[in-house]
Amino acid sequence: MPLLVPATLIVLVFLAAPLLILLRYSFNRFVPGQFMVEAFTLENYAKFFTDPYYFAVLRTTLLMSVGVTLACIVLAFPLAQVIARASPRSKPMLIILVIVPLFIGNAVRAAGWMVAFGQKGLVNTALAGLGIQPVTLMYTPAAVFFGIISVNLPYVVLTLQSVLEGIDAHLGEASQSLGAGRFETWRLVTLPLAMPGLIAAAVLSFILTMNAYATPLLLGGPQFQMMAPVVATTILSQNNWPFGASIAFILMVVTLCLTAAMNLIVARRYGR
Amino acid sequence: MATLRLDGLGKSYGDVTVVENVSLDVADGEFLVLLGPSGCGKTTTLRMIAGFVEASAGRVLIGARDVTGEPPYRRNIGLVFQSYALFPHLTVFENTAFGLRRRKIGEAEVKSRVERALALVRLDGLAARYPKQLSGGQQQRVAIARALVIEPDILLLDEPLSNLDAQLRIEVRSELRRLQKSLGITTIMVTHDQEEAMSVADRLVVLQSGRVQQVGSALDLYLRPANRFVAGFIGRGNFLEGVALEAGFRSAQGTVFPCGAPAGSVGTLLLRPEHVGLHRQQGHGMFAGRIESVRFLASSFDIAVVLAAGDRLQAQLPATPGAMRENWQAGDETFVAIDPAAMTLLQNDTGHADLNSQNQKGVSP
């Protein structure tokens, strides 16, 4: 038990305490020029839900998170299955290949894409060389979408792979011997048994996207807004701590609620 | 229910040949066991019949139907795995109904057939349980019910008893045998356990290094083993190298055994330990020797004897009251009697080089 003390302290001091302080801030009043005035008001929260601009930011963030998560699961599942069934010799190599992108930070990667996909970037230079009109790749929702997918994909692949690996390969063979085709076997045996891992992977991808900062900021451009960058701008550029804190809390609560709901629905659908 | 024919079946991975030219005809309703040590190709053969391993050569025919190129789910085969492979997320009922539902059978019929199958393996009443709530033996019976309920043409059993403890194994295998006979279903079982194989099989196929060594009933293989490998795998044996002369078989040590083999052939003499008799008094045709060691194994005594010329033989005496009174001790003088009819000469030209390198120490397990 004494061994738990340092971790508990770190969580209390560096996570719980700042959160509580931020929660308190979110009820303060923002008076331009005076920084922050002690108060106990819900007007910051009210502002978020009544101002169509901020509500649209939340909607964009949610759509992006759901879309990215679905795309990640669909893209990652076959790859995870291949890795899970790979021979003991090739498996470590495949896993390393999946992990390698994690060595590069999101910001560095996004910056690289700016170079590659900009109006005068690598891709458009190449296209121009072939006599093709330049295409707009940067600062579009699609750029953010694919950017976040590539950030999340390794996590999703590894989570799914570890669960798929635990499924006895004979189960699939038993299913086939009983007359189920490959897809039917996947749908009736593999998918239900992989469901716990699938939920975990989806939750991970959803949370990562809800809170994505560097990728939307660098690839989305000024027109495209998601929650985390808005929190940062509100606090850092506008110095509006109370409103920034309230946006942060709305983001946190929405993420928590949807994650819990997803867990419940899937758990009920697939049982134990 | 159908016949099964394997026609020159082979499997190689690159240069490595795992199964070579296996041809077998299995009669309708026959219980055939593929027997051999691990790595002999028996499981690969079974998986080629099931369709999970693509044959590199040859054909698999179920009845008149060539299924060599068919995927497993179109072969109508029942398969029971060593690990049972029950679907953990489905109840016993749904596990058993799985194959019927794939065949688009009406719910009422599914229900009655599943109930019948579960009654057959004496699991009625446990239909609502999940596999993890069952004992190993019960799980095995669900696996059997699940494979049988689809009325497969062929039932394949892959080491089905290996995960059960010794007591249960004997129980389940006699049940399996009874079930197989009453349903008259053509069955192929894979095992490395000779006793298990002999207790259920109509015919056994002994495999070694991917090749069929011999096919026959347990008694055939015991009495007329085709080579030393089969002799050592079905029952135990003393193996003496030597040459057949006019007077009989002369071992390398110089003992002459009066077996009626054609003179001049070089080979190995097989003497079953249970056919080696020990006596206190010299008699006609006996060999003088000395007891080297005695082990008591409840139902028998395992006794090592060294003959005057130096040949070492294992004798197995049933633990009768007479044998108890005899009370053989290491160091005792003894006279060894062997019925010449129980001496089998194995020609050396049959097996592979690696067969001859095994069992040099006389007795194989």
Is the confidence at residue A203, as pLDDT, over 60? yes
Q: Please name which of B26, B129, B116 lies closest in space to residue B87, comparing C-alpha atoms.
A: B129
> CB–CB of A189 and B87 under 8 A?
yes
Domain-located, residue A25: no
User: Phi, psi at residue A168, to the nearest 5°?
Assistant: -55, 125
Domain-located, residue A155: yes
Shortest Cα distance from B68 to chain A (angstroms)? 15
Is the confidence at residue A229, as pLDDT, over 70? yes
Who among B52, B89, B103 is closest to A193 (CB)?
A: B89
Shortest Cα distance from A191 to chain B (angstroms)? 11
Is the confidence at residue B360, as pLDDT, over 50? no
Determine contact: A148 vs chain B, CB below 8 A: no
Who among A177, A184, A271 is closest to B79 (CB)?
A: A177
Identify the band that residue B357 occupies on the pLDDT scale cut at 50, 70 and 90. Answer: very low
Tally Cβ neighbours within 10 Å of residue A114. 16
**What residues of chain B lie within 8 A of the CB of A193, using their CB?**
88-89
pLDDT digits (tens, 9 = 90+) for B295-323: 999 999 999 999 999 999 999 999 999 98
- What is the rounded average pLDDT of the residues B202-224? 93
For A39, the 3-state DSSP assignment is coil
- What is the rounded average pLDDT of the residues B57-66? 94
pLDDT digits (tens, 9 = 90+) for A110-167: 888 888 888 778 888 888 888 888 777 788 888 899 999 999 999 999 999 999 999 9
Q: Please name which of A27, A54, A29 lies closest in space to residue A42, comparing C-alpha atoms.
A: A27
Bridge partner list, B277: B337
Cα gap B86→A169, rounded to integer Å: 11
Domain-located, residue A16: no
**What residues of chain B lie within 8 A of the CB of A267, using their CB?**
none
C-beta of residue A215 within 8 angstroms of C-beta of residue A105: no
Cα gap A78→A20, rounded to integer Å: 42
Identify the band that residue B169 occupies on the pLDDT scale cut at 50, 70 and 90. Answer: confident
Identify the band that residue A270 occupies on the pLDDT scale cut at 50, 70 and 90. Answer: low
Who among A168, A173, A185 is closest to B52 (CB)?
A: A173
Q: Please name which of B71, B67, B64, B54 lies closest in space to residue B11, comparing C-alpha atoms.
A: B54
A251-260, B239-248, B298-307: range with lowest mean pLDDT: B239-248
Identify the band that residue A34 occupies on the pLDDT scale cut at 50, 70 and 90. Answer: confident
Domain-located, residue A68: yes
Shortest Cα distance from A18 to chain B (angstroms)? 43
> CB–CB of A189 and B81 under 8 A?
no
Identify the band that residue B207 occupies on the pLDDT scale cut at 50, 70 and 90. Answer: very high
What is the domain extent for residue A67? 39-270
Shortest Cα distance from A86 to chain B (angstroms)? 16
Left, alpha or beta for B235 (phi > 0: left; psi -120 to 50: alpha)? left
**What residues of chain B lie within 8 A of the CB of A185, using their CB?**
73
A35-44, B53-62, B145-154: range with lowest mean pLDDT: A35-44
The two beta strands, B65-66 and B77-80, are unpaired
- Residue whose pair of structure tokens reads 């690598």 in the numeric block: A122
| Touching B: A residues 154-213, CB under 8 Å | 168, 170-171, 173-181, 184-185, 188-189, 192-193
The single-letter DSSP state of residue A15 is: I
Tally Cβ neighbours within 10 Å of residue B152. 24
Domain-located, residue A19: no
- What is the rounded average pLDDT of the residues B332-349? 86
Reported for B359-362, long-range contacts at CB under 8 A and 24+ positions apart, including other chains, are B359/B228, B359/B232, B359/B237, B359/B239, B362/B238, B362/B239, B362/B240, B362/B312, B362/B313, B362/B314
Cα gap B144→B157, rounded to integer Å: 9
Give residue B358's pLDDT.
38
Tell me which of B44, B52, B139, B140 to substitute to probe the interface with A (most A C-beta atoms closer than 10 Å).
B52
Tell me which of A87, A89, A177 to substitute to probe the interface with B (most B C-beta atoms closer than 10 Å).
A177
Per DSSP, which regions of chain A are E strands?
Answer: 29-30, 36-37
Identify the band that residue B356 occupies on the pLDDT scale cut at 50, 70 and 90. Answer: very low
C-beta of residue B10 within 8 angstroms of C-beta of residue B24: no
- What is the rounded average pLDDT of the residues B162-175? 85
One-letter amino acid at A82 equals: V
The two beta strands, B203-208 and B186-191, are unpaired
Shortest Cα distance from A163 to chain B (angstroms)? 14
Note the pTM of the prediction, 2 decimals.
Answer: 0.80
> CB–CB of A177 and B98 under 8 A?
no
Domain-located, residue A7: no
- Give the number of A-B residue pairs with CB atoms closer than 8 Å: 64
Domain-located, residue A222: yes
Q: Exposure of B95 by Cβ count < 10 A (0-12 exposed, 13-18 middle, 19+ buried)?
A: buried
- What is the rounded average pLDDT of the residues A51-67? 94
Torsion of CA B329, B335, B338, B339, to 10 degrees: -130
> CB–CB of B78 and A192 under 8 A?
no
- What is the rounded average pLDDT of the residues A67-93? 94
Is the confidence at residue A223, as pLDDT, over 90? no
Give residue A131's pLDDT.
83
Residues of B near A (CB-CB distance < 8 A)?
A: 50-52, 71-79, 81, 83, 85-89, 98-99, 102-103, 130, 146-147, 150
Determine contact: A51 vs chain B, CB below 8 A: no
Identify the band that residue B22 occupies on the pLDDT scale cut at 50, 70 and 90. Answer: very high
Q: How many CA atoms lie within 13 A of A198 on its CB side?
A: 18
Cα gap B101→A173, rounded to integer Å: 17
Give residue B349's pLDDT.
52
pLDDT digits (tens, 9 = 90+) for B116-149: 999 988 898 899 999 999 998 899 999 999 999 9
Q: Which helix (H) or strand (E) holds B266?
A: strand B266-271
Identify the band that residue B350 occupies on the pLDDT scale cut at 50, 70 and 90. Answer: very low
Is the confidence at residue B364, as pLDDT, over 50? no
Q: Could you tell me the CATH number of the domain that includes residue A192?
A: 1.10.3720.10
pLDDT digits (tens, 9 = 90+) for B266-293: 888 999 999 999 999 999 889 999 999 9
Please indicate whether residue A272 or residue A222 has the higher confidence score (pLDDT).
A222
Cα gap A212→A147, rounded to integer Å: 10
Determine contact: A267 vs chain B, CB below 8 A: no
> CB–CB of B71 and A176 under 8 A?
yes
**What residues of chain A lie within 8 A of the CB of B44, using their CB?**
none
Determine contact: A45 vs chain B, CB below 8 A: no
C-beta of residue B2 within 8 angstroms of C-beta of residue B28: yes
Number of domains comprising chain A: 1
C-beta of residue B286 within 8 angstroms of C-beta of residue B279: yes
Domain-located, residue A15: no
Give residue A271's pLDDT.
57
Tally Cβ neighbours within 10 Å of residue A81. 18
> CB–CB of B73 and A272 under 8 A?
no
Q: What is the mean pLDDT of chain B?
A: 89
The separation between CA A49 and the C-alpha centre of its own chain, rounded to angstroms, equals 23
